[in-house]
Amino acid sequence: MEALIRLTGITRFFGQFCAVRNLSLELMPGEILGLLGPNGAGKSTTMRILSGCLRASQGSVEVNGFDLFKEPLLAKRSIGYLPETPPLYPELTVDEYLGFCARLRAVKRSETVAALDRAKSLCGLEKTGSRLIRNLSKGFQQRVGIAQAIIHNPRVIILDEPTNGLDPNQIIEIRQLIRTLGERHGVILSTHILPEVQSVCDRVLILKNGRLVYTEYLVQMNDSENNAVRIRLDQSSEEAAVADLEGVAGVTALGNNRFSIRLDTGCSIPALVKQIVQRDWGLLELVSEHQNLEQIFYRLTTTEENDS
């Protein structure tokens, strides 16, 4: 399958400061890609380069088969972009604004009304068409921002922190909307809310200091490392005794009768529990220690700055 977006060796300098360094990535149709990273990691810069708002110092971007820097007008037809702050004109009504965006994105005049209706119904804006954008709440303004990004039915949708400033109900709605969009389009979204990535994305990329430090499919990530548990015992026992249990590959004592146990691939957690109970060690606590996104994120983004 042909990639919708192919980023090759993108580097971007702001003066001496390097915001993105040698970044390469691909986005497939029907894929939702989550871009994660601490503040200043280069997420927004990457998205602005992808959308054509910013030129890269080096490297190339291909969108739907067109080079973004050499054939910008053709490439940009396939892009819908929501910047960090939604690009709204407060003096226009929602309909006027979306109509302008449709014409800007080369939607045919005869199809404009249908495009407007589709975008508005997807974003829940059916009843706000004649209202001034200035008078809308922050959440609705954000929805209008998303509506302008999908008005021309683009193959690639780039969303920079789409749930920023929304209330919890709206966040759930927007996540559902993103999942719906992800069925037919390629979506790249950036966020610093980790559960959002887990609930919405197919694949996660973590950026740090402008470099790609992690990339993994979420399904695989959840599977790969769930063979570790952390236990707390009532009885004091030796590390060696725990290590003698059947199916245990390694043990680390954490103090206060707490141990972190890595299991052999063949060993299940219930089997381990059975052994502990048989030995009457007084199991107080057992936590599956599969490495979640939060831990990966924390580990990758707080390590020493040795790559500058």
Partner 1 sequence: MLAIFGKELRSLFLSPLAWSLMTTVQLVLAWLFLVQLEQYLQIQPKLAGLENGPGVSALVVAPLLDSAAVAFMLLAPLLTMGMFSRESGNGTLDLLFSSPVSMTAIVLGKYFAVLSVLSVMLILVALMPFSLLLGTRPDMGSLAAALIALALASAAYTAVGTWISSMTQQPAVAAVSSYALLLLLWIIDLTGSGEVSSLLQQISLSSHFQRMLSGLVSTADIAYFILLTAATLILSIHRLEHLREQT
Instruction: Point out which residues bind partner 1 (CB under 8 A).
Output: 48, 51-55, 72-74, 76-77, 79, 81, 83-89, 91-92, 96, 100-101, 103-106, 148
Closest approach, Cβ 214 to partner 1, in A, equals 27
Pick the closest to residue 182 from 201, 163, 206 (CA basis). Answer: 201
Q: Which residue has the tokens 């599969």?
A: 290
Q: What's the rounded Cα separation, in Å, for the pair 139 and 156? A: 23
Q: Which is nearer to partner 1, 89 or 298 (CB)?
A: 89
| Residue 181 vs residues 9, 157, 163, 200: alpha-carbon distances, Å | 28, 8, 15, 11
DSSP state, 303?
Answer: S
- Name the 3-class secondary structure at 58: strand
Closest approach, Cβ 144 to partner 1, in A, equals 12
Closest approach, Cβ 58 to partner 1, in A, equals 13
Q: Which is nearer to partner 1, 34 or 86 (CB)?
A: 86
Closest approach, Cβ 90 to partner 1, in A, equals 8
Structural element, H or E, at residue 274 = helix 269-278
Closest approach, Cβ 18 to partner 1, in A, equals 15
Closest approach, Cβ 245 to partner 1, in A, equals 58
Q: How many residues does the chain have?
A: 308
Q: Which is nearer to partner 1, 81 or 140 (CB)?
A: 81
Q: Which is nearer to partner 1, 84 or 225 (CB)?
A: 84
Could you tell me if 183 and 30 are in contact, meaning their C-beta atoms sit under 8 angstroms apart? yes
Q: Which is nearer to partner 1, 54 or 243 (CB)?
A: 54
Q: Which is nearer to partner 1, 20 or 79 (CB)?
A: 79
Q: Which is nearer to partner 1, 100 or 217 (CB)?
A: 100
Closest approach, Cβ 56 to partner 1, in A, equals 10
Quickly list DSSP for 125-157: -GGGTTSBGGGS-HHHHHHHHHHHHHTT--SEE
| Contact partners, residue 170, CB within 8 Å, separation at least 6 | 139, 142, 163
Q: For the stretch 133-156, what's the b/e string if a residue is b when 16 or more beta carbons lie within 10 angstroms of its beta carbon?
A: beebeebbbbbbbbbbbbbbbbbb
